[in-house]
Structure 1
């Protein structure tokens, strides 16, 4: 145990205490509710002791041969650093990172307690275990009783299993040596368990010397047991921690009974400094004159990854003239709140356009920097477009405004930039551009593929049945150009996106919208022209970035890359959290997968539904955010995901966040949640269904292939690719499509509390931006991912810093995995594809993906494909996922 040692007691024969008596003695230590848990932990420790069997022993006191150097203020139940090697080896499992610690305890020569000297410990968390090594060099004071007045040494090796944040088990092996025979030759086993059922409660039990180690004189040490409980009453935060524990030594009293030594610990966070620690132990409870007190009190000062500790050792058990001090230093790969370092400017560099998950991580990085009191500014060094869509650009812009609202200065540095860079950086304090760079942007445009002519030339006939003139996805495969309705819809959508873009940039650059529109129309711009037009503020090369940052900050600044250390957990156990479930890519039946090189990501219904189910069944998840990044796909997949989302919403708050696109089947799956958030530029709506296939007989005839088909009934091969639909089949398909459409409408009516005629008026394939959808009650609020997560935390009654768990875990196809094993990452695949295949052919391959992915028997709720999203500069591979270079399968804007 880590408190100051107890006085020695005379030797006597062993008399193990019955399990019932031990359990009874342990009950007062913990609260009523965890009493059974404490008894269970005690039973485990007793079982370990039984393995040793009877042996001749003498009662050695806790301040005897196996007593480690005290670790001030470290309770048995929450010693989550390398002190756990000696205090409670189970807690090594909770070690946040690597730690090297030195401690020196020094008492006066008049102190009768032998625990004085140095300890050095090193702990390392590995994959499924944590381990540590500790050296104790004990140099007792002159007043210590013999034989404990002789110097001794202990080497301890601790090992703990990583069994999760709520339960831990560990064992320490110790070897003791000394020039004094009574202190030499020991081999000790100490085991502990810790249970953390709540974020504010920790329970521990430790069996020390349970193998009854013997010295060279064949004298054994009696077993001892520690039982402890620690609580963090301030919402589970480390701001205040109170520990109560007791130690029991077998057969140490003259009457044959054991002795108890209670102890209390306190940890109190001191803002901008560290933690104030103290502990008090009551010794010799039955002694004449009452128990004696041994206490330690001091301060841990935290400076980034360094901790410096110092304090006093005092109490009448030590004697006034024996009063001493302790000090220590720890070097760690993690940090705790403490002294603020000088304010710094953090440099965040983007060399490739973020994909869906990397975009979320970028947002979280910027949110974290906004809350960091040691960050005075952020320099965004953009060597690629910072967002893959206008909706994503809105969310990055929001993150920049959030930085500024927290008092941080924000600078953007651009080279060869496009419209999304201008959109994002307009929210910054200043924009700098490389003098040799430029702004390739002159306005917005959109492009759509029509494959009717190509398919006719190949002898392939698309046979499509749809409902509603606005369901334009079907036109791409059946026509050579769009209909009048399609042209009007495309232009209306582009106008909405352009208005949203101009409004954001106008507010950020403080240029009236009409004037901004006139300036942009003169693009694209060289760097000097962009500055003259007021679109950037200054010109600077890379090597001049430090000077520019100083100008923006108004003082000399320390510029560092963002590489934060790991932080020690704020709470114990499984902290209540928000689950962020991604619905990303074309929706298909079955498991998620991707198509390498082409850049098509497929969201499987089983995978997404399983992620929702996992979030629903996880008791630590208090709220769910469904992040929708899809233009739809299989109607069956959409319904499977919607059903799982509805079941989840019945159990815990479900908030929907629409990203770049949540259209058609993506909107279908979104209506389970309330509220629904969308950015102004999110693409949604497209409420409609189509059904179709291609007839390839013409192509086969050109190749000299003929086909003979035999059937048992007229419609047996209705879905065959080797003939067109008959009039009767087309009529029946129209009935099916209407049924699917009515189901689509009914789902919206049920979950959005609208009338069927209202939904039908907004449906039939019409596409809306987030701003339009809000006016039409298809969504509830305008806002990005930050606002959606904040609402989920509010509804789930979670703190503002509640962690976020991303589901499903990132995965890849078998081919993509194999390529990754040989170093051919998704980014490398994308770069190779763009280097060897013309961009228009890549776009065409992606647009034709429904023919390869969806069978002829699958009705589709999918919006049309608009080609590669490009804001005036080539799009580089996205960093984080296979198929990440693919744009959303929905109408999307281009800038020229």
Structure 2
């Protein structure tokens, strides 16, 4: 046990003893006695919580705490006390609560049965103490958007009983307020009985104010203290407390203390509270102080927990000692810390099917890292149906290696699969393949369609101006094939990726790279041949995997998915976190847009700039990791985003994580970071700019249309699609993008600590693999989101527990379906080429019209189809603008 933790435990035990002494008895009288407990008071439970943890029992303890739930939660509380103890605490409670979507509200229900029978000195049972039931509904409203950590709650209860003379029809209303100030401090106040319910002949119940302060000195649940006090004002509902005896009526203050010590799913608890006991010998009433105690142990697994312990008392008039027992059973969707290590039988199945974006990637990587922290276990990775690219699979591969380093074992299951799939599978301890699915590791391919000849045939001329010779995207529209520099860089990129993948596979499978190269050249492989040649280790149908794993591991196994439900944080409110800002898709000016069905993703500068500004002002965000998966787009959009990141970097660390691609405009944004991580298979660089322009006048001639342009100004029609450039206009266009390129080079030189001349030598539109980018100094280190978050947390000096991950949140929040539909059908999306061809020109969509007659014009389908293939950043806007767009991704196995 660490020395600091041992000292904390000793301090906790000492404070709990101090609480007991402060709350201890002042007198101990002989004879039978009973607890002066309101009929509205709940039965005993292992320990109470007003400020602190949140579970379904908050329905009656503090309804505001329901706002902190992360999923459905249910609790069963049970307590039994002997009649001779005189303690009114026996009962059973069943509670359930759930937060509503988008955390707009949390709701809870509770049903309790209280066995309150208490024998008086005459041997009788008072009918006011007979059994009763209690039904409760509660709601909590999170106020975190306006006041971090704050929540309010309300509960309504109704008592019912056929034997208790005071219970039927009794109503109770409580109002609660909770504030999780930070990871160390939580405060709460519950105002109970606010409606002052009438209890038969005893008058109205007294309102009770129940404040509590909870402390976690270590910042997490390993050590917790709580101090609270019930204070009642006004009349009392119990007959004994309605006595005119001033000594009895003085029990308006009931201080209490609680301590919890432990971690990783096991905690010890102890609680002490001052209570009022009385002696009723039918001739006079005597009252005295007493202390009730409870102590025990709590065990947690991810979705199930149990706590149990003993109830005792001091100063209870001859009933000192053990009074009974209490227990709690908890069920939850949110995952708690695991008390047990990974069960030997468990094999965690991680399926990559249907996953393609970086947020899903982060979820997988963090899941694997959490499994690694448990030390041991087995992961089964199924690669069928994944949409991840090679760079993303490389991050999963690195996470699996960390899992293996922590003592775990990995099995990969292939149902066919391409080279990128095998690249990941090769890192596994064992590869099992489907017996009837060929292994198609046929290599690397690129596919680039060149439209120059088609456009020429239909009378369209591409008049792009570009910087520089390696900027290959404009060639797609002006040529029938690549120029020599572009072809050279494409080959170099593929060679880098090939060498890396072959080398890694060879190292993982203990084969010479030449052997791996021969495997690829001989692909596709039939499963039996792949097993004989050592590409895979075994063959099995999906329903035979458990048997194959049992044979390999030498024990029975059960294949399970990763733990379901959100993780329950181990802290009350740990606002300090690393923000991961996702920049995915084509960079455009305006708002972001995502159309999954069309696989169209636009990263809007307005959306991202506003989000970055919010992260900069958010004190809870201690560092920003910018995850870039973009081959660029609008130069202006890249500049606006980079400027906001520059301003943010002046206040807090900004670290860059490159995904599949961070090219051209994507690399421009990367220059705003203090440190850049890239995967070996990332495509980056492409530092260059071009300005798109198509001359459609030849097409108009073919279809018999004349575009009569009326303008004032020598260059008023410079960007018109209805005429070619003049020499003067071309020179002006070139001067404009040269200025933007010079600015780009200056940023690269400043960010990478090199001269502008050296930066220009690496730029000129040239693309680089992550491997080569590290060598030439365009990135700082290999790594993905995991490494970037770790670096950012250290730069921000975030306190992170040993073996734990820094707290992470993803931005911007995913747009809702309603927001997506609004952006499309609410006319937020401009049409191809914008106002330059008369199809845009404002927030709405306007048909192209003849400026003289006002009649609507139309184009032939081939033109519209061709224009729709242009990069989104060319047509998403009101007019053509300078673009920084990199090449298409290299595809694995075509």
| TM, length-normalised to structure 2 | 0.83
In the alignment, the residues of structure 2 paired with residue 813 and residue 636 of structure 1 have an alpha-carbon distance, to the nearest angstrom, of 28
Aligned residues of 2:35 and 2:276 also touching (Cα < 8 A): no
Q: What is the 5 A alignment of 1:183-582?
A: 183-217=167-201, 219-235=203-219, 237-251=220-234, 254=246, 259-269=252-262, 271=264, 274-283=266-275, 291-318=289-316, 319-320=319-320, 323-340=323-340, 342-343=343-344, 344-352=346-354, 354-372=356-374, 376-384=377-385, 386=386, 388-582=388-582
Q: Give how far 1:146 is off.
A: 5.0
Aligned residues of 1:720 and 1:856 also touching (Cα < 8 A): no
In the alignment, the residues of structure 1 paired with residue 610 and residue 402 of structure 2 have an alpha-carbon distance, to the nearest angstrom, of 34
Q: Give how far 1:380 is off.
A: 1.4
Q: Give how far 1:694 is off.
A: 0.1
Could you say if the C-alpha distance between residues 114 and 362 of structure 1 is closer, same or farther in structure 2, counting changes exceeding 3 Å?
closer
Could you say if the C-alpha distance between residues 851 and 609 of structure 1 is closer, same or farther in structure 2, counting changes exceeding 3 Å?
closer
Q: Higher mean Cα deviation, 344-353 or 812-821?
A: 812-821
1:22-41 CA-to-partner distances (Å, cap 9, x unmatched) read xxxxxxx9xxxxxxxxxxxx
Could you say if the C-alpha distance between residues 213 and 559 of structure 1 is closer, same or farther in structure 2, counting changes exceeding 3 Å?
same
In the alignment, the residues of structure 1 paired with residue 475 and residue 807 of structure 2 have an alpha-carbon distance, to the nearest angstrom, of 45
Answering whether residue 130 of structure 2 is matched by residue 150 of structure 1, we say: yes
Q: Give how far 1:183 is off.
A: 4.8
Could you say if the C-alpha distance between residues 372 and 641 of structure 1 is closer, same or farther in structure 2, counting changes exceeding 3 Å?
same
Corresponding residue for residue 862 of structure 1: 885
Q: Give how far 1:342 is off.
A: 2.6
Corresponding residue for residue 812 of structure 2: 808
In the alignment, the residues of structure 2 paired with residue 511 and residue 856 of structure 1 have an alpha-carbon distance, to the nearest angstrom, of 55
Corresponding residue for residue 696 of structure 1: 696
Could you say if the C-alpha distance between residues 338 and 430 of structure 1 is closer, same or farther in structure 2, counting changes exceeding 3 Å?
closer
Q: Higher mean Cα deviation, 549-558 or 192-201?
A: 549-558
Q: Give how far 1:812 is off.
A: 7.5
In the alignment, the residues of structure 1 paired with residue 264 and residue 573 of structure 2 have an alpha-carbon distance, to the nearest angstrom, of 24
Q: Give how far 1:803 is off.
A: 3.1
Corresponding residue for residue 112 of structure 1: 86
Q: Give how far 1:304 is off.
A: 4.2
Q: 2:59 aligns with which of 75, 82, 85?
A: 85
Corresponding residue for residue 881 of structure 1: none
Q: Give how far 1:177 is off.
A: 4.0
Aligned residues of 1:170 and 1:191 also touching (Cα < 8 A): yes
Corresponding residue for residue 852 of structure 1: 875
Could you say if the C-alpha distance between residues 580 and 484 of structure 1 is closer, same or farther in structure 2, counting changes exceeding 3 Å?
same
Q: Give how far 1:706 is off.
A: 1.4
1:529-568 CA-to-partner distances (Å, cap 9, x unmatched) read 3223322222222222112222343422121123424443
In the alignment, the residues of structure 2 paired with residue 506 and residue 89 of structure 1 have an alpha-carbon distance, to the nearest angstrom, of 59
Aligned residues of 2:425 and 2:431 also touching (Cα < 8 A): yes
In the alignment, the residues of structure 2 paired with residue 820 and residue 302 of structure 1 have an alpha-carbon distance, to the nearest angstrom, of 47
Q: Higher mean Cα deviation, 739-748 or 281-290?
A: 281-290
Could you say if the C-alpha distance between residues 355 and 846 of structure 1 is closer, same or farther in structure 2, counting changes exceeding 3 Å?
farther
1:316-336 CA-to-partner distances (Å, cap 9, x unmatched) read 244227722223433333443
In the alignment, the residues of structure 2 paired with residue 357 and residue 98 of structure 1 have an alpha-carbon distance, to the nearest angstrom, of 24
Q: Give how far 1:506 is off.
A: 1.3
Aligned residues of 2:109 and 2:137 also touching (Cα < 8 A): yes
Could you say if the C-alpha distance between residues 486 and 281 of structure 1 is closer, same or farther in structure 2, counting changes exceeding 3 Å?
same
1:8-31 CA-to-partner distances (Å, cap 9, x unmatched) read xxxxxxxxxxxxxxxxxxxxx9xx
Q: Give how far 1:290 is off.
A: 8.5
| TM, length-normalised to structure 1 | 0.83
Return 5+ residue gaps in structure 1 as ranges.
1-28, 30-59, 822-840, 866-890
Corresponding residue for residue 139 of structure 2: 159
Aligned residues of 1:308 and 1:329 also touching (Cα < 8 A): yes
In the alignment, the residues of structure 1 paired with residue 551 and residue 588 of structure 2 have an alpha-carbon distance, to the nearest angstrom, of 52
In the alignment, the residues of structure 1 paired with residue 267 and residue 347 of structure 2 have an alpha-carbon distance, to the nearest angstrom, of 27
1:762-794 CA-to-partner distances (Å, cap 9, x unmatched) read 111111111221122211111122211221222
In the alignment, the residues of structure 1 paired with residue 358 and residue 653 of structure 2 have an alpha-carbon distance, to the nearest angstrom, of 23
Q: Give how far 1:725 is off.
A: 0.6
1:69-106 CA-to-partner distances (Å, cap 9, x unmatched) read 02232232125223323322222222343333333322
Could you say if the C-alpha distance between residues 700 and 648 of structure 1 is closer, same or farther in structure 2, counting changes exceeding 3 Å?
same
Aligned residues of 1:447 and 1:894 also touching (Cα < 8 A): no
Q: Give how far 1:269 is off.
A: 2.3
In the alignment, the residues of structure 1 paired with residue 598 and residue 72 of structure 2 have an alpha-carbon distance, to the nearest angstrom, of 42
